[in-house]
Each structure stands twice: as structure tokens, then as C-alpha cells.
Amino acid sequence: LTFLGIESSCDDTAAAIVRSDATILASVVAGQVALHESFGGVVPEIAARAHVEKLDLCVEEALAIAGLTLADLDGVAVTAGPGLIGGVMAGVMLAKGIAAGTGLPLVGVNHLAGHALTPRLTDGIGFPYLMLLVSGGHCQFLHVTGPEQFQRLGGTIDDAPGEAFDKVAKLLGLPQPGGPAVQAAARNGNAGRFDLPRPLLDRPGCDLSFSGLKTAVLRVRDGLVAAQGGLHEQDRNDLCAGFQAAVADVLAEKTRRALAASPVPVLAVAGGVAANSTIREALQRVADQAGAAFVAPPLALCTDNAAMIAWAGIEAFRMGRRDDMTLAGRPRWPLDQSAAPMLGAGK
């Protein structure tokens, strides 16, 4: 099987061609960072407009790179949610147009299922496995037992960890995206200098919280600024190291609990925060201790892309899933309801 995948749920316009033997023939991602930069965040209307303008070009480019035409495909998979609804609708409409024009089967994919199934595309892992999704917008533990079978074991009750990295970078005057900047500063820092909290470790279960940690960094910063009139480079490095260590500790302990609650042979991660080497090392240790393998897909497939959507579409298609012209975009779509029928407008 060869599928076209389309992704437009946030600020990346993406198209990809993927084969059922896990070969990625093309994966095109057009970001929108420059469009939103001056607003300090993604503006939904601007994002939707840019998706409408760029989607066909991305699809054409992906087909050209793969050396294929629409006639060579076996199906079209598209992110049908969750995400910014204008962008999701732009993708769904294009996918419906292609399906109607060619007669190809249409499969609506949950964006989070795309992330969660990526280690099967990149590393060919089998079910069941534990997926820790840690990105700029999401943070959850998923017990994955099938292409459309996800059980949520816990997740953040406030910010996502990537969001916390970005906010901490902003507090300390470091550039965006904050994750790589904080990691670089932390390399020269002393993680033990400041006493930062480890939120929710005193409570049972796998839920996480990151907003208190960010506030703790803010307090330390304000204290230093009040005492010495500003931040020295070493203060910044030490705060970054301390913050990063706290995030790694919390993620590691909650992952240990998730593996203990639902033992599986593989721990997999996805999302931009999985790029962090301190966090990766901490998770690797947890996996080793639990006797599980640790799988982290390459970064380009950990962040938003359409190859994961094409792949999730192939997996769902193999299970018999087909959508029709009633396929509707959903701003919200909890992953543990992935197999629920998707009929009706926006329901």
C-alpha cells in the first residue's frame, strides 16, 4: 500500500508519501514560524490561511519527490483533529477533494495517534508498548495495544513540558524555541544550586504538572535580580540545569510508575521534548531498570510531520477503517476515543 498523508493541525503544513513496508518516499514540512513570530504565538486565522495557500504545493512536492502521481496511490490519510479547526478543515477539505476526484479511499487520522504510532514506522515495534508523548502542546502516557487502541494512563494537569521549556527560556531572556536554548545553557550549569520542586511526586498515579516549576524558576530569577540587579550568565546556566533536571526527574519517576502499572516490553517517546538528551538518558535508565527496550524516533519524525499521518492512515485502513464525505474536522478528539465513529458535523 502507498498512502498520501496530509497534516495541517497546527503551524506546520505537511504532506508525505509512505508505503506499508514502512518506507518514507517523501516527507515535506513547511513551517510557519516567520508568519507568527511578531505575535508571540500561533495566530489561528493566519495559520489556516497559510495552510490553504501551501497545502496543494506540499502535496505536489511530495508526489514529485516520490516520483509518483495520484494514480499510483492506494489511499489518502488526513489529520482530522485535534488541533486548530481552521487548519484541520483546510487539510480535510483538500483530502476529500482528492478522494472525490480520484476515487481513492479516505482515512481521517487522529494527530495524536500519528505521534503515538510513529515508533512502529521508524523502529517496527510491536504491540503493546508504553508511549510517552512530550511536546509543546501535549504530555501524556498511552498504553498502546493496537492501531486504534490507546489507554491514557495519565498526563499533565496544566502546561506541556515543551511549553514550560519555552516559558522558562523567555523568563531568562533566551531565544525561542526554548528547549534547545535551555539545554545548551544547562550544559554549563550546576543543577544542584537552586532548590526547585518536583511537582506531584508526592501524589500517586501518572499525572504531571509543570506550571509550578516554571513559577519557581520565576521566583528564583526575581530574587537574584532584586539582590544583584540582574542575572549573571552562570545564574542563567544554573537555573536552566536545575529546571531541566527537575523535568527529567518528574518524567522519569512518572514513567517508572506507568511501566509498573502496565508492564510492557517497550517504552517509546515522541514529541519535540524527546530531543532533550538529559531527559532521554533519564528515560533510558527507567527502561533499563524495568527490563524494557527504549525507542526514540529521529527528531524530524518526533515533531509534527505528515509521514506519521500517512502511516497511521495505513494502519487504520488495514483494520478496515474508511471515511466518507461526511468526515468532519474536530478541534478536540481524545485519543482513547479514537475508534469512535466520526459522523456528523464537528461532533
Instruction: Give residues in contact with Fe ion (CB under 5 A).
Output: 304
Smaller CB separation from ligand ATP, 4 or 248? 248
Kindly state the helix (H) or strand (E) to which residue 40 belongs, with its residue range. Answer: none
Report the first-to-last Cα separation within the chain, whole angstroms: 30
Q: Which is nearer to ligand ATP, 183 or 237 (CB)?
A: 183
Residues 76, 95 contacting (CB under 8 angstroms): yes
Residues 6+ apart with CB under 8 A from 243: 164, 168, 182, 186, 196, 213, 217
Q: Does 180 bind ligand ATP (CB under 6 A)?
A: yes
Does 114 bind ligand ATP (CB under 6 A)? Our answer is no
Residue 226: count of CB within 10 angstroms of its CB: 8
Rg, Å, the chain Cα set: 21
Give the span between the Cα atoms of 64 and 94, in whole angstroms: 18
8 binds ligand ATP (CB under 6 A): no
Instruction: Give the residues across from 81 on adjacent strands.
Output: 110
Q: Select the residue interacting with ligand ATP from 81, 119, 147, 162 (CB under 6 A).
A: 162
Shortest reach from residue 298's CB to ligand ATP, in Å = 13
Amino acid in the structure at residue 217: V
Select from Fe ion, ligand ATP, none the partner in contact with residue 142, using the beta carbon and a kind-dependent cut-off of 5 to 8 Å. Answer: none
Q: Binding site for substrate: residue ranges?
A: 133-137, 166, 179, 276
Q: Are 115 and 135 in contact (CB under 8 A)?
A: yes
Q: Which is nearer to ligand ATP, 160 or 342 (CB)?
A: 160
Is 44 a binding residue for ligand ATP by CB under 6 A? The answer is no
81: contact with ligand ATP by CB under 6 A: no
Residue 246 Cβ vs ligand ATP, minimum distance, rounded to whole Å:
13
Residues 133-152 that bind ligand ATP (CB under 6 A): 135-138
Q: Is 331 an interacting residue with respect to ligand ATP (CB under 6 A)? A: no
| CA distances in angstroms from 331 to 44, 178, 268, 298, listed in the order given | 12, 26, 26, 28
Q: How far is the CB of 223 from ligand ATP (least distance, A)?
A: 25
Binding residue (CB under 6 A) for ligand ATP from 118, 303, 305, 338: 303
- Cis geometry, peptide bond prior to residue 334 (ω within 30 degrees of 0): no
118 binds, among Fe ion, ligand ATP, none (CB under 5 to 8 A by kind): none
Residue whose entry in the numeric block shows the C-alpha cell 492506494: 74
In whole angstroms, the minimum distance from the beta carbon of 179 to ligand ATP comes to 2
The helix (run of H) or strand (run of E) holding residue 77 is strand 75-81
Which residue number, 110 or 244, has a Cβ lying nearer to Fe ion? 110
**Of 235 and 304, which CB lies nearer to Fe ion in the complex structure?**
304
Sign of the Cα pseudo-torsion (196, 201, 206, 211, in order): negative
Binding residues (CB under 6 A) for ligand ATP: these are 10, 135-138, 162-163, 165-166, 177-180, 183, 271-273, 275-276, 303-304
